[in-house]
Amino acid sequence: MTVISARNITKTFKIYLNQSDRLKETFNLTRKKFHREFHALKDVSFDVPAGQSLGFIGVNGSGKSTLLQIISGVMTPSLGTMSTSGRIAALLELGAGFNGELSGIENVKFQCSLMGIPYDEQPAIVEEICKFAQIGEFVHAPVKTYSSGMYVRLAFAAAITVNPDILIIDEALAVGDIRFQNKCLRKIREFREQGKTLLFVSHDANAVKTLCDRAILLNSGELMFDGRPDDVVKYYSNLLAKKEGEELEPDMVHRSGNGKVRIKSVHMLNSHGAPVTTFIIAEPATVHITVEAFEDVPSPSIGFSFHDRLGNEIFGVNNFCIQYELPNLKKGEVRTIAYKLNLDIGVNIYSVSASCHPMDSHLIENYDWVNDAFVFKMVQNPAYHFTGMARLTATVDSFK
């Protein structure tokens, strides 16, 4: 069942230099335009089935918030159609949805009425919202006196507690203390487990990959990529690294760069020096990255990163980070860098991404970046038992 259907959504805003231009255009008999048009969204189409968690990513100004406002009914498109099914609760940018002159509890009651909650059910829901928000007596104070953290606490509590079919969250969870953020994330996971639909915007790529099973990349108002969160985030990262004048490669999800240096191979050796794809926890290993130079480049930075099966980055390093300067590469040279480390990470399947660029960041210039260049598996070590992603050595210091 499709709960959201967007067809050729376009949103255009008229930008006036001043108010007098707006008046001139309104009363001008020649229909002369005194504005310029800004296209926040351009012909965007997609469907969302019930129970899906869809993340939206993109730089500021890419159209994410405008699209969510259209979905939630706050804004109408200039062209195209948007249809939704079910109760929608939206946690948009700070300041949207609440009346600053009213108290928190008055705003909550008003929101319950807007959501169609029967009057006799509202007291119990309002009590639950206040309990979740944990802002104490401030719930009786005007919202305009709230800090951003207090506002988000109350807004999120109101959005999640009214039992919506579709929950829309636009960047709001970036505000507030870490305990409340974790509390919200647990609630969102419960919401997903109930088979409800989630639309989520965040600049935190790991949050999108963890909470969503699909992602859409918007760029300058256009839908550029729609797919698995891990693939969309990789495409987005490579898009940020792309310089003006460069073309996107067809396999950009897996590789990007200007080609001055190319990564030829990536593999891992076990403690016996044998190339393998399965390791036990805490086993010493060596990561080999072989590169070929197609132009002369000064001392390069060659590195790698480990990612779990959800695409979350577990660890990353390059020679620049550890202050190990490599010699200049001459055109035609083939060199291999070897990193030794203990694999003190949990049982899982991991991928290795490799990169080559100047200095410490590929965002300045990117020679070559290869995602998922190598895949390996970690299995349990009977000598070490722990939970989580990383094994940290801990001893009992005292028991008094």
Instruction: Give tens-digit pLDDT for 297-326.
Output: 999 999 999 998 878 889 999 999 889 999
Structure-token pair, residue 50:
């019930």
Q: Which residue has the tokens 């109350």?
A: 154
Question: Which pLDDT score is estimated for 99?
Answer: 85
Question: Which pLDDT score is estimated for 210?
Answer: 83
Residues found in the chain:
400
CA nearest neighbour of 222 among 98, 25, 46: 46
CA 263, chain centre distance (Å): 27
> 326: which residues sit within 8 A by CB, 6+ positions away?
299, 300, 301, 302, 319, 337
Question: Which pLDDT score is estimated for 148?
Answer: 80
Question: What is the spatial distance between Cα 222 and Cα 9, in angstroms, rounded to a whole number?
Answer: 10
Instruction: Give tens-digit pLDDT for 342-388.
Output: 999 999 999 999 999 997 666 678 899 998 899 999 999 888 888 88
On whether the CB atoms of residues 34 and 24 are closer than 8 A, the answer is: yes
Question: Which pLDDT score is estimated for 218?
Answer: 94
CA nearest neighbour of 234 among 389, 372, 348, 59: 372
Question: What is the spatial distance between Cα 71 and Cα 208, in angstroms, rounded to a whole number?
Answer: 19
Q: What are phi and psi of 354, to 5 degrees?
A: -125, 150
Question: What is the spatial distance between Cα 240 and Cα 234, in angstroms, rounded to a whole number?
Answer: 10
**Helices 148-161 & 178-193, crossing angle to 10 degrees?**
20
Structure-token pair, residue 271:
């403690």
Question: What is the spatial distance between Cα 26 and Cα 28, in angstroms, rounded to a whole number?
Answer: 6
Single pTM value for the model: 0.74
Task: Please report the domains of the chain, with CATH numbers, ordered by start residue.
Answer: 256-379 (2.70.50.60)
On whether the CB atoms of residues 219 and 62 are closer than 8 A, the answer is: yes
Dihedral (CA of 232, 234, 236, 238) sign? negative
User: What is the 3 state secondary structure string of the chain?
Assistant: CEEEEEEEEEEEEEECCCHHHHHHHHHCCCCCCCCEEEEEEEEEEEEEECCCEEEEECCCCCCHHHHHHHHHCCCCCCEEEEEECCCEEEECCCCCCCCCCCEHHHHHHHHHHHCCCCHHHHHHHHHHHHHHHCCHHHHHCEHHHCCHHHHHHHHHHHHHHCCCCEEEEECHHHCCCHHHHHHHHHHHHHHHHCCCEEEEECCCHHHHHHHCCEEEEEECCEEEEEECHHHHHHHHHHHHHCCCCCCCCCCCCCEECCCCEEEEEEEEECCCCCECCEEECCCEEEEEEEEEECCCECCEEEEEEEECCCCCEEEEEECCCCCCCCCCECCCCEEEEEEEEECCECCEEEEEEEEEEECCCCCCCCCEEEEEEEEEEEECECCECCCCCECCCCCCCCCC
The one-digit pLDDT tens for each residue of the chain (400 residues) are: 899 999 999 999 988 877 777 777 777 766 777 778 889 999 999 999 999 999 999 988 899 989 999 998 889 999 999 999 988 988 876 555 688 889 989 988 888 887 788 888 888 999 999 988 888 899 999 988 988 888 888 888 888 888 889 999 887 666 567 778 788 888 888 898 899 999 998 887 878 888 899 999 999 999 999 999 988 988 887 777 665 445 555 555 678 888 999 999 999 999 899 999 999 999 999 999 999 999 999 999 999 999 988 788 899 999 998 899 999 999 999 999 999 999 999 999 999 999 999 976 666 788 999 988 999 999 998 888 888 888 887 767 756 7
Instruction: Give tens-digit pLDDT for 217-256.
Output: 999 999 999 999 988 988 887 777 665 445 555 555 678 8
Question: What is the spatial distance between Cα 214 and Cα 254, in angstroms, rounded to a whole number?
Answer: 18
5: β partners: 47, 83
Question: Which pLDDT score is estimated for 336?
Answer: 94
Question: What is the spatial distance between Cα 58 and Cα 44, in angstroms, rounded to a whole number?
Answer: 14
Question: Which pLDDT score is estimated for 242?
Answer: 64
**Helices 148-161 & 104-114, crossing angle to 10 degrees?**
30
